[in-house]
Chain A
Amino acid sequence: MIDLDRLYRQERGRVLASLIRLLGGFDLAEEALAEAFLAAAQQWPQSGVPANPRAWLVSAGRFKIIDRLRRRSRFKALSPELQRQIEGEEPPMPEDRETIADDTLRLIFTCCHPALPGDTQVAMTLREVCGLTTEEIATAFLAKPATIAQRIVRAKTRIRDANLPYQVPEPAEWAERLDAVLHTIYLIFNEGYEASHGEALLRRELSQEAIRLARLLVTLHPDAEAEGLLALLLLHEARAAARTDAAGDLVLLPDQDRTLWNTDLIAEGIAHARAALARPPVGVYTLQALIASEHMRAATAAATDWNAISDLYDLLATADRSPVVALNRAVAIAMRDGPEAGLDLIAPLIASPLATYRFAHAAKADLLRRAGRWSEARDAYQAALALTEQTAERRYLEKRLREMAD
């Protein structure tokens, strides 16, 4: 029995990537892709799956399109270059691993092109590279399918009209362009991991997709920051089972049952973090992965090396001046030097940039509680609660409030 659905998910991104190069754009390539999988569905049950299904799909798609364009006499309407490109020399055989790798990289870079808005980069990457349907993306982001569909249509128009190059960026712009790709992967992961509005489930798949993408990226183009990101995602994912209790309530890192952590993922994550560290300059994802490594190396929460973590946060805060990083640094320093030291650092953050950031109020509340300043802690938990929609997080905050009432 041939599992075409599984094959589709596995191969779609790569076959599409090669077809875009061979046919010069998304529109013809997607048409060719549909034809290729249709042909596979008709022929493979009898003939069996070919030795190299990817190469088969690419050449079947390309052939069908040439045939169709001729029939529709649309071929003559194409520019002479495109005619040559499509019909031209035998296509570079797609079983060439390097060509396939480059095609996929090109597709990832195109989907994450800085000319596209952030949420569009995410939707394009999930659909074109990961093979999710418009409807699945909409479900995962709690959006209407029609909204996601329009976003994708606009992105493709943009790519075509602005003639965004379908290529791996030049070394000069590599770092900046890679940043956009890593950020997209990070957003996809977080959307699955945090499930920021509503209940989880299907959204967990997003985290898996993000890890798959990060792995793919590291395989396609070894880069220290890409590897740092992969490490970070693996280390987060390793804790997934311990993040909520049986009732679905959120369990914070210090209270997590460490026997639920996935030791394989931890080992793999730490190995990638070290490999990334060995190739300076050390980027922000690598630093975050190293911080996570420190947490997860400790046998118990009490055994955590807060000196090492605070030092890493100092480095991270220099590389990334975002207030959220400053908040996390404050929490680490509070663990090293006591709650009052952390509260001093948090006060200016809550005063302006993080005034409506729920985690800032929750962190402040936790520190006040540890300092024994009960009534201030209660106020801070109330402030956090007022900003929180996510059910598991709400229950966590309510539990803390109840505990303090006792």
Chain B
Amino acid sequence: MRYLCLVHFDVNILLAMTPEERQDLDRRSIAYDEDLRRRGAFLRSDALEGPDAAVLVRRRDGQTLASDGPYLETKEQMGGFILIEARDLNEAVDLAAGIPIAAFGTIEVRPVYLIPTPP
């Protein structure tokens, strides 16, 4: 089964870090991806620009509407994701718990929904 680990955190925590702390976090985050890859659990990951860089897109009545983010004003924002392969939800939770940012942010684990093939 595939699970998407959405990595949420308060960007102010990152901004308050010293450059050394930031580098250490980045190093550990990259190392964890490597760990997951060795376990056969890694599918894909990326960090994201902040919500102020987001464009919100909708189509209504055939018109494309674009507006600025952020959509929601919450303290923690989604800042990246890791798509993993795990045997079940509890294995996914264990893997998500190992993501270094889980120590101060929140990882939302979402099972991938398999869209039924249309007949």
Binding site for B on A (CB under 8 A): 27, 30-31, 34-35, 38, 41, 68, 72, 127, 133-136, 145-146, 148-149, 152-153
B60 within 8 A of A: no
Contacts of B111 in A (CB 8 A): 135, 145
Binding site for A on B (CB under 8 A): 1, 31, 35, 38-41, 87-91, 93-94, 111
Contact B93 A38 (CB under 8 A): no
Instruction: Please give the distance in Å from B81's CB to the nearest CB on chain A.
Output: 19
| In the bound complex, CA of A68 to CA of B41 (Å) | 15
Contacts of A68 in B (CB 8 A): 35, 38
Sample of 16 more A-B contacts, CB < 8 Å, known A30-B94, A135-B89: A27-B94, A34-B91, A35-B39, A38-B40, A41-B40, A68-B38, A72-B31, A127-B88, A127-B90, A133-B1, A134-B90, A135-B88, A145-B89, A145-B111, A149-B93, A152-B90
| In the bound complex, CA of A34 to CA of B93 (Å) | 14
Contact A133 B87 (CB under 8 A): yes
Contact A146 B39 (CB under 8 A): no
Contact B89 A34 (CB under 8 A): no
Interface SS, A side: helix
| In the bound complex, CA of A68 to CA of B98 (Å) | 14
In the complex, how many residue pairs between chain A and chain B have their CB atoms under 8 Å apart? 43
Output the nearest chain B residue to A123 by Cβ-Cβ distance: B90
Contacts of B94 in A (CB 8 A): 27, 30-31
Instruction: Please give the distance in Å from B106's CB to the nearest CB on chain A.
Output: 14
Contacts of B93 in A (CB 8 A): 149, 153
Nearest 5 interchain pairs by C-beta: A133-B88, A134-B89, A134-B88, A38-B40, A149-B89
| In the bound complex, CA of A311 to CA of B35 (Å) | 63
Contacts of B90 in A (CB 8 A): 127, 134, 149, 152-153
| In the bound complex, CA of A148 to CA of B38 (Å) | 28
Contacts of B87 in A (CB 8 A): 34, 133
Instruction: Please give the distance in Å from A12's CB to the nearest CB on chain B.
Output: 9
Instruction: Please give the distance in Å from A134's CB to the nearest CB on chain B.
Output: 4
| In the bound complex, CA of A134 to CA of B1 (Å) | 11
A selection of 25 A-B contacts at a CB cut-off of 8 Å is: A27-B94, A34-B39, A34-B40, A34-B41, A34-B87, A34-B91, A35-B38, A35-B39, A38-B40, A68-B35, A68-B38, A72-B31, A72-B35, A133-B1, A133-B88, A133-B89, A135-B88, A135-B111, A136-B88, A145-B89, A145-B111, A146-B89, A148-B89, A149-B93, A153-B90
Contacts of A30 in B (CB 8 A): 91, 94
Contact B88 A31 (CB under 8 A): no
| In the bound complex, CA of A136 to CA of B41 (Å) | 20
